[in-house]
Amino acid sequence: MLPACNIIAGTARFSGISGAALLTPLFLIGSPLLGVPHLTTVEAIGISLFLETSGFGAGMYRYVRMRLVDWRSALSLIVITLPLGMVGALLAYYVPTQVLRLGYGVAMLGLAWLLTGHQESGRRAEPPCPCLVCESECADQSCPEGERRQVRAVTKSYDYCASGLSLQRLFSGASALLAGLISTSVGEATLPTMVRRSRFPVPIAAATSTVVVAATVVGAAAVHLVQLAVTSGLRTIPWNLIVWAVPGAFVGALLGTRLHGRVSERSARVFFSGLYLAIGVSFLIAFTVFKSRFA
């Protein structure tokens, strides 16, 4: 778990995706194939979210120090995503296991589709401030399609026009519910829509998304762990796994934030689209065709 969480958390932090998106397949498919004692589906979801808090906490600390977070937008999303993430975590204990597994596979396929850039052809005209790099002269222009945002980071000041925030709240809220239910999608749905629909500069979107996801998964993970302790007892929590995974996630997250910006957005999007497609197909095949092998 130490090297695995180093890699997963590092990958999640430099790209802005959810670490749980890679941890849950490790627990539910990788562990049985390797002959490692594996977790139940709900346990895997809860532990994945708990470990994600370690990685996101480290990444959030660095982004806050760099002053890249748009706190106004982050708080407006957290008041929606935090309670919905907790509701999703509660619902996970009442949804049939097979539905959770297949739902996870379908969600991965949906995320792969979301990241492919399918909407680029129908993209509306650029607002006064460009979506990725806002030059200084934009500061004096009007913002007819959204709300003016100003973030003064350590190395650069960002002045941009954030549009479609109501739709952003809808996307993030729905994905937070799924995150509590199946451990993933809040980061994957929040970051791309912030950049492409709400027109946030990429560094601001990555930092703000990290804060939103961190707050959401803390609430969802807490509900999962309390439910697990109440229904099965504290002894059922895999402490021997957590003791190695938490430092691995923390160190990996710190390394991942240093890599941010060194991989092009397009390359990362293509890579993760393919990865999510592979995970989704693997889940659907593993829990239908080979269902008995992964029971």
Cβ 63 vs Cβ 210: under 8 Å? yes
pLDDT value for 295 = 63
pLDDT value for 262 = 66
pLDDT value for 144 = 57
Domain segments of the chain as ranges: 2-118+125-286
Mean pLDDT of 208-214: 86
Query: Residue 143: which of 125, 127, 166 has the closest Cα?
Result: 127
pLDDT band for position 248 (cuts 50, 70, 90): confident
Stretch among 164-173, 256-265, 266-275 having the lowest mean pLDDT: 256-265
C-alpha to C-alpha distance for 214 and 204, rounded to whole angstroms: 15
Q: For residue range 114-128, what is the model confidence (pLDDT) as tens digits?
A: 777 544 444 444 444
């935090």: which residue's tokens? Answer: 82
Give the H or E element holding residue 160.
strand 157-163
> Is the pLDDT confidence value at 175 over 80?
yes
pLDDT band for position 87 (cuts 50, 70, 90): very high
> Is the pLDDT confidence value at 135 over 60?
no
CB proximity list for 265: less than 8 A, separation 6 or greater:
195, 202
C-alpha to C-alpha distance for 2 and 288, rounded to whole angstroms: 31
Question: What mean pLDDT value characterizes the chain?
Answer: 77
C-alpha to C-alpha distance for 35 and 16, rounded to whole angstroms: 31
Stretch among 30-39, 82-91, 163-172, 196-205 having the lowest mean pLDDT: 30-39
C-alpha to C-alpha distance for 60 and 273, rounded to whole angstroms: 24
C-alpha to C-alpha distance for 295 and 286, rounded to whole angstroms: 10
pLDDT value for 181 = 86
pLDDT value for 79 = 94
């910006």: which residue's tokens? Answer: 261
pLDDT value for 86 = 93
pLDDT value for 2 = 83
pLDDT value for 80 = 94
Stretch among 123-132, 165-174, 246-255 having the lowest mean pLDDT: 123-132
> Is the pLDDT confidence value at 164 over 50?
yes
Torsion sign over Cα 221, 224, 229, 232: negative
C-alpha to C-alpha distance for 118 and 40, rounded to whole angstroms: 35
Strand partners, 146: 163
> Is the pLDDT confidence value at 76 over 50?
yes
Mean pLDDT of 20-43: 79
Cβ 80 vs Cβ 213: under 8 Å? no
pLDDT value for 77 = 92
- Percentage of residues in the chain having pLDDT higher than 90: 5
